[in-house]
A and B are shown apart, each in its own frame.
Chain A
Amino acid sequence: MSARSRARRTSLPLGLVLPAAALLALALAYPLGRQVVLSLQSFGLAQQFGAPPEWVGIQNYRDLVGDSYLWTVVLRTVIFCFVNAALTLGIGMGIAVLMTKMTSWVRIAAQCGLLLAWAMPVVAAMIVWQFLFDTEYGAVNAVLTWWGGDYESHSWLASPMSFFAVATLIVVWMSVPFVVFTLYAALTQVSDDVVEAAEIDGAGGWQRFVHVVLPSIRPVLLVVLLLQLIWDLRVFTQIYTLQKAGGITRDTNLLGTYIYSLGIKGGDFGTAAAAAMFMLALTVVVTAPYIRMMLKQED
């Protein structure tokens, strides 16, 4: 091969990748670097009138770490993430397993329902659920009152616990379909022969599930779990809209909404950037096992 054509062979693919790489560098890599700089600067009243930001070193990080509120929010975020991921996976797994036992028309009907819930835009879903839990005209209060409960004009978003219960219900409702479809697809791939062999060896239904079915869908299960953890860690829209609908912001902030209220609403971009670095660090910690797994595959 001539030197000229070898040069062409390497420059053509690089040229093809260039637009995508350049755009990602501009819209993601540059802000990431910029964020580190921002987190070392202070933004106050003077900066709103055009003064350049002041260098404060790691003062923003010091302030955050010293503020017990940050730790409350971080803890809340992590708990919310784990509870939601666990519930989503548990419920999704249960439905997926039972799906293999359903009469076919029931299964198809359930799949259609799940597909509809999955397709629902997050904002539309939030609006409808808010309406269902509305204090005055919500269907939930109407049904509970009709059943004899004392739910006339009950406000679901007033206390933090009840706020997070509603948020969890909505997040799980929206996330379960993906888990069910993925796990059901994996379950149908489990070899019937192996399961039958275990049955002949005298394994009961539960034993077959734990020792044969579960190990064979393990890779899919792991991926779904990690995706779910990532998604539930970054939950923003649901919390933000519920806060707008009547939650007490300070008692219900998760990291995403906290960063938003610090930076975009409060104008304190330095502290917000530092808090955002916490969010990125938390993502790395949660997804580290997954990234290690990927790196191993790449080698």
Chain B
Amino acid sequence: MATPGRRRTSTPLWLTANAVGLAVLLVCIFPVYWMISRSTLPNNRIRTKDQTWLPLNPTNDNYGRVLDGDGFRNALTTSLAVTLMTVAVALLFAFLAAVAVSRFRFRGRASFIMTLLLIQMIPAEGLFISQYKMLEGMSLLNSVFGLTLVYVASVLPFTVWTLRGFVDGVPMELEEAAMMDGCSRLRAFFTVTLPLLAPGLVATGLFGFIQAWNEFTLALVVMTDPAKETLPVWLIGFSESRSRGVDWGAIMASSTLITIPVIVFFLIVQRRMVAGLTAGAVKG
């Protein structure tokens, strides 16, 4: 890889670049800092005209109020159920499809791949009306199964695509060598290829987790019963209703709680995501 900045850079350009770099850092971090710092302040120190920039004497009262409330815990249960089911089903189905696409040449293979790429362009907003009517007809509105169904469909194309890349990365020769040694094809696959795919499965699973955990639009459409809301829908409702302007501390604490798992997982899969998003788009 070429090392950037090896060529001599003029002083004004160098100064501008570094000033912009620091500005970018500030603009990116400030909202996150504000969310976390306000979540540790009592409301009487948030609801004031002169804001404290540094959160001295923090408190965990806000977190206590959120975690004790029924709303957050209900939504957490729903979110976890939907997210984990989505990841499990999507990984299984995508894994099988990825193996087929990567290891076999069969009729309809090319059109299957094309369909996956095209599906990724369908905006959820262009289809949620009929998905709503479909789930209504199947009595799956306000059901974790109904939401899981539409979630799996939306993460499946990307998941198949990413996993296919990982399966491609494991050379056929390894499997063939094991088969020479007397393994059946199935056994060779499970003992040789599958362990090598573990990192890929983890990364893809984490990506699906982030997608399903963050998703708002379909959850809003499918989960109309307040008792069945997922965390994002609950949070928006919480921030707009009785607590608006009253309990910003609790709102910031809930936002922080929802953000933490995403940031942790995101840092793990980030490198692969840059590659995956563009590779999925460039490669035929």
Contacts and interface: CB of A to CB of B under 8 A. Distances in A.
Interface of A: 9-10, 12-14, 16-17, 19-21, 23-24, 26-28, 30-32, 34-35, 38, 94-95, 98-103, 106-107, 109-110, 112-132, 134, 136-137, 139, 142, 173, 177-178, 181-182, 185, 187-192, 195-196, 199, 205, 219-220, 223-224, 226-227, 230, 233-234, 236-237, 240-241, 244-245, 255-256, 259-260, 263-264, 269, 272-273, 276-277, 279-280, 283, 287, 291, 294-295, 297-298
A95 B235 contact: no
Contacts of B114: 294-295, 298
Contacts of B46: 137
Contacts, number: 324
Residue of A122, A124, A264 contacting most chain B CB atoms (<10 Å): A124
Closest 9 CB pairs of A and B: A113-B28, A27-B153, A234-B123, A100-B4, A16-B100, A297-B284, A256-B125, A119-B266, A13-B104
B34 interface: yes
A137 B248 contact: yes
B239 A16 contact: no
Chain B, interface SS category: helix
B123 A233 contact: yes
Contact of A273 (B103, B123, B129, B216): B129
Given A35-B129, A142-B49, A114 B278 contact: no
B284 A101 contact: no
Contacts of B242: none
Given A28-B122, A34-B134, A297-B284, A124 B25 contact: no
B240 A110 contact: no
B29 A14 contact: no
Nearest to A106: B21
Given A128-B35, A236-B217, A291-B118, A227 B277 contact: yes
Interface in B6-23: 6-7, 9, 13-14, 16-18, 20-22
B220 A240 contact: yes
B236 A123 contact: yes
Contacts of A190: 2
B130 A121 contact: no
Interface string B217-242: 10011001000000110011001100
A273 B126 CA distance: 8
Interface stretch (B89-97, B170-178, B196-204): B89-97
Given A28-B153, A273-B129, A109 B25 contact: yes
B84 interface: no
Nearest to A177: B28
B69 interface: no
A212 B18 CA distance: 24
Contacts of A264: 128-129, 132, 221, 224
22 contacts: A12-B100, A16-B99, A23-B93, A28-B119, A35-B127, A95-B24, A98-B21, A99-B21, A102-B5, A106-B17, A109-B21, A110-B22, A113-B28, A113-B29, A116-B32, A117-B28, A121-B214, A122-B214, A127-B252, A187-B4, A279-B123, A280-B126
Contacts of A139: 34, 51
A30 B153 CA distance: 12
Given A31-B131, A298-B114, 7 more contacts: A20-B97, A32-B130, A34-B133, A98-B21, A115-B270, A279-B123, A298-B113
Contacts of A255: 125
